[in-house]
Amino acid sequence: MPRSILLIWDHKVFIDYKSLKYILLRCRILNWTGHYYKMREMKPPLAARLLPAFLMLGPISCHDRIANGSTLPASSRRLPTYSTDGRMPLDQLYSRFASLSTDHGWQTDTVYAYPDDDRLPVLSWRTPLKGKAIWILAGIHGEEPAGPNAIAHTLENISALADAGVPIVLLPMCNPKAYSKNWRYPDTPERDWRKGGHSVGDAEYLLPDLNAGDAPRTPKPAGPDSEALTSYALRLSESYPPLLVLDLHEDELSTEGGYIYFQGSVSKNNPVGSEIIHLLRSSGIPIRLSGKTRFGEPVEDGMVSRDDQGLPIRDGSIDELFASTHVFRNGKKIAGPAAPAVFVVETPAFSGSNLVQRVAAHSAILARVGQLWAIKSAAP
Ligand SMILES: [Zn+2]
């Protein structure tokens, strides 16, 4: 008979699914996606109170889907989501992404859960197979819904690549709190980072300073969510070394067209970048072939690979972290993930732009993720 095993510190508990769900919901440990993510973070006294309740129920048959993050009835899903632009509601997104675990055997990690709202965890999915991997991220900025929505539309393409034996780490919704409100940052409606907001992808505390590079760029993380996300990325990069990273963004200030950032070790001849640009154009999205970004970075055939000084892009983001050859951990300089190819896709998301078309643009890339992987693997 299928059983779930819950680990509460050293205690192994067998419990039936319905009883488990009841207890966890009552104790606000389970969220509607079925993830018992708070279990590991419970304070010992609370766990001590709960443990007898678990043990009293004894070993009973249970539904094994709970171990993979099953879903609860629709009535329990009430996640308010900004809807003016027609973005997919958060509960639908969580449910779609959870199918990677329930239907495809991927592993789920809770990267971060907000103490003040446990309905909005930052979750990651990864293939059981480890090794040189493709990493796909989206939703770092909450006002950029096309990436997370496109991943929800193309999960079959992504899981097909996993079935073909390619290790994958997927962080499809890095900032659910801001997505739910159409904010950029998790902690403020203010879009300007100079006015108090922090990006969940800020990795400066792990990156070398821009001078001698002998100290971290900032003394501490920008926020608890950014610390959780970037330290998770760094840790997982050891068992899933990033060979190719796709980070799906949008630019609501760009009215002229989309473009992509490149960070990594390829200097000339960037066939994966060229293919991404080709796929974006084929989807009908306009692309900026020249000129400069609003940060003064030159755009060349849709690609930005140098800053306004002609130096490699060093924006302090999780993308720089993936590409970085050196990082700081606990004050010590160590080798970084050194991903050879990190692409940040930016679709134009100005007011009045069409989200359906922007989702189609990101989907065009994800639908060909196997092809991109093949190109990158052939010439790493
Ligand atoms: Zn962005």
How many whole angstroms from 250 Cα to the centroid of ligand 1?
5
Q: Which residues pair with 312 in a beta bridge?
A: 306
CA 345–ligand 1 middle distance (angstroms): 9
Ligand 1 centroid – CA 53 distance (Å): 45
pLDDT(288) > 80: yes
* pLDDT higher than threshold 60 for residue 145: yes
Cα–ligand 1 centroid distance for 152 (angstroms): 18
Q: pLDDT (tens digit, 9 = 90+) per residue, 344-368?
A: 999 999 888 899 999 999 999 999 9
> Mean pLDDT of all residues in the chain?
85
C-alpha 114 – ligand 1 centre gap (Å): 21
Class of residue 56 by CB neighbours under 10 A (exposed 0-12, middle 13-18, buried 19+): exposed
Q: What separation in Å is there between the alpha carbon of 20 and the centre of ligand 1?
A: 39
Q: What's the gap in Å between 365 CA and the centre of ligand 1?
A: 17
* Helix or strand (DSSP H, E) at 328: strand 326-329
327/85 Cα distance (integer angstroms): 38
- Separation of 24 CA from ligand 1 center, angstroms? 35
How far away, in angstroms, is 140 Cα from ligand 1 center? 6
Q: Please, which residues bridge with residue 117 across strands?
A: 114
> Ligand 1 center to residue 360 CA distance, Å?
17
Distance in Å, CA 42 to ligand 1 centroid: 33
pLDDT grade for 6, boundaries at 50, 70 and 90: very low
Helix (H) or strand (E) holding 320: helix 318-323
Q: In this predicted structure, what is the pLDDT of residue 317? A: 98
SS3 355: helix
User: Rounded to whole angstroms, what are the CA distances from 327 to 11, 213, 265, 352?
Assistant: 37, 9, 16, 40
The per-residue pLDDT for range 18-43, each reduced to its tens digit, is: 556 556 555 555 544 444 444 444 44
* DSSP conformation class of 358: H
Helix axes 155-163, 355-367, angle to 10 degrees: 10
Report domain 78-378's class.
alpha beta
Give residue 304 CA to ligand 1 midpoint distance, Å. 15
Task: Please tell me the total number of residues recorded for the chain in this structure.
Answer: 380
pLDDT surpasses 70 at 110: yes
Predicted pLDDT at 22 = 58
pLDDT band per the 50, 70, 90 thresholds, residue 62: very low
Cα 219 to averaged position of ligand 1 atoms, centre (Å): 24
Which residues, 6+ apart, have CB-to-CB distance to 209 below 8 Å?
215, 216, 217
Average pLDDT over residues 96-121: 95
User: Ligand 1 mean position to 139 CA, how many Å?
Assistant: 8
Q: How far is the CA of 155 from the centre of ligand 1 (A)?
A: 21
CA 189 to centroid of ligand 1, rounded, Å: 15
If we measure between CA atoms, which residue out of 199, 200, 138, 197 comes closest to residue 172?
A: 138
| Ligand 1 midpoint to CA 235 (Å) | 23
pLDDT exceeds cutoff 60 at 163: yes
| Å from CA of 371 to ligand 1 middle | 25
Q: How far is the CA of 17 from the centre of ligand 1 (A)?
A: 40
CB-neighbour burial class of residue 229 (10 A; exposed 0-12, middle 13-18, buried 19+): buried
Q: What is the Å distance from ligand 1's center to 66 Cα? A: 34
| Residue 226 reports pLDDT greater than 50 | yes
Which residues of the chain does CATH 3.40.630.10 include? 78-378
Task: State the pLDDT at residue 19.
Answer: 58
Q: Cα dihedral angle (250, 229, 318, 276), rounded to 10 degrees?
A: -50
Q: What pLDDT, on the 0 to 100 scale, is given for residue 14?
A: 44
Q: What is the pLDDT of residue 295?
A: 86
Per-residue pLDDT for 320 more than 80?
yes
- Considering just the CA atoms, what is the radius of gyration of the chain in Å? 21
Q: For 258-287, what is the mean pLDDT?
A: 92
Residue 246 has pLDDT above 70, yes or no: yes
Instruction: Give residue-wise pLDDT tens across range 323-344.
Output: 999 999 998 999 999 999 999 9
The CA distance from 324 to 340, in Å, is 9
Is residue 240 over pLDDT 80? Answer: yes
Which pLDDT score is estimated for 11? Answer: 37
Cα 10 to ligand 1 centroid, rounded to whole Å: 41
From the CA of 127, how far away is ligand 1's center (Å)? Answer: 26
| % of the chain surpassing 90 pLDDT | 71
Lowest average pLDDT, out of 211-215, 267-271, 356-360, goes to 267-271
State the distance from the centre of ligand 1 to the C-alpha of 215, rounded, in angstroms. Answer: 27
Contact 167, 159 (CB under 8 A): no
End-to-end CA gap in the chain: 46
Q: What is residue 141's DSSP assignment?
A: S
State the distance from the centre of ligand 1 to the C-alpha of 326, rounded, in angstroms: 24
**Ligand 1 centre distance from Cα of residue 45 (Å):** 41
Residue 3 has pLDDT above 70, yes or no: no
Taking residues 56-81, what's their average pLDDT? 44
DSSP string, 241-269: -EEEEEEEEEETT--S-BEEEEEES--S-
Kindly tell me the burial class for residue 116, based on how many C-beta atoms sit within 10 Å of its own C-beta (0-12, 13-18, 19 or more).
exposed
The stretch 225-239 carries a mean pLDDT of: 98
Alpha-carbon torsion 64, 68, 72, 74, what sign?
negative
